[in-house]
Amino acid sequence: MIPKQQITVVLVDDHAVVRQGLCAILNKDSRFKVAGQAQNGREAVQLVRTLQPDVVLMDLGMATLNGVEATRQILAENPTVKVLILSAYSGRDNVERMIAAGVAGYIDKESSADILTQAVYAVAHGRKYFSAVVAKQLHQATEGPGSRGKVKKPNLAALSQREAEVLQLVAEGTTSKEIAVELGISIKTVEKHRQGLMQRLNIHEIAGLTRYALAAGVIEGKVIPVKKTKC
């Protein structure tokens, strides 16, 4: 659901100074409103339950309840809430776990303020956002002797033009109804293309299609243009 007014955000990080910095960046931009802050995953689950924000900006390494489990609980209770991971840990395992958990995006803590606001805005409007460092991890998952085969090596040439279009829209988090409107086809046809994609690529869940699209560069750097804000 696209926010009609300000985008409400809940900040989750176990370091007060980090939360204060994020709060200052977001509240300086009139598009955003920090609705609440939590210092661990347990507090985050309760806060989201109460506030129903548009976006949760989530750290991973926290005591009491870590970001992975907090994300799973939040999305199980509130499937329309968008969880954006902001973490110093951008290794492949973490990225893949969080994609599988259903996050809308993942950026590293070295990202600039502009990247942060772009990411929050994008996921609030139903898009996926992964910073360059994170997307690189998905590329590396398909190459070299260290690859463990978790992401099939991309071969977009094997897809039809329509399948490629559907792949991007699905990976960006677009619903079947929205895809149907965007492409001027029926929802039934969208589902047919989606199933065809999964069969052709031997991928059987949306998270897998997202990983594939990231590895192929289909949605890397896919952001909604926004005005820059000064610190």
SS3 annotation, the chain: CCCCCCEEEEEECCCHHHHHHHHHHHHCCCCEEEEEEECCHHHHHHHHHHHCCCEEEECCCCCCCCHHHHHHHHHHHCCCCEEEEEECCCCHHHHHHHHHHCCCEEEECCCCHHHHHHHHHHHHCCCCEECHHHHHHHHHCCCCCCCCCCCCCCCHHHCCHHHHHHHHHHHCCCCHHHHHHHHCCCHHHHHHHHHHHHHHHCCCCHHHHHHHHHHHCCCCCCCCCCCCCCC
pLDDT of residue 216: 66
One digit per residue, the tens of pLDDT, for the chain of length 231 reads 445 589 999 999 999 999 999 999 999 999 999 999 999 999 999 999 999 999 999 998 887 788 888 998 999 999 999 999 998 876 677 777 788 888 999 998 888 999 999 999 999 998 889 888 777 766 665 454 444 445 455 566 667 778 878 888 887 778 889 899 988 999 999 999 888 888 888 888 877 787 777 766 566 444 333 333 333
CATH superfamily, region 7-140: Response regulator (3.40.50.2300)
pLDDT of residue 139: 60
pLDDT of residue 189: 92
Give me the CATH topology for the region 156-216: Arc Repressor Mutant, subunit A (1.10.10)
pLDDT of residue 224: 35
Domain ranges of the chain: 7-140, 156-216
- Please tell me the pTM assigned to this model: 0.68
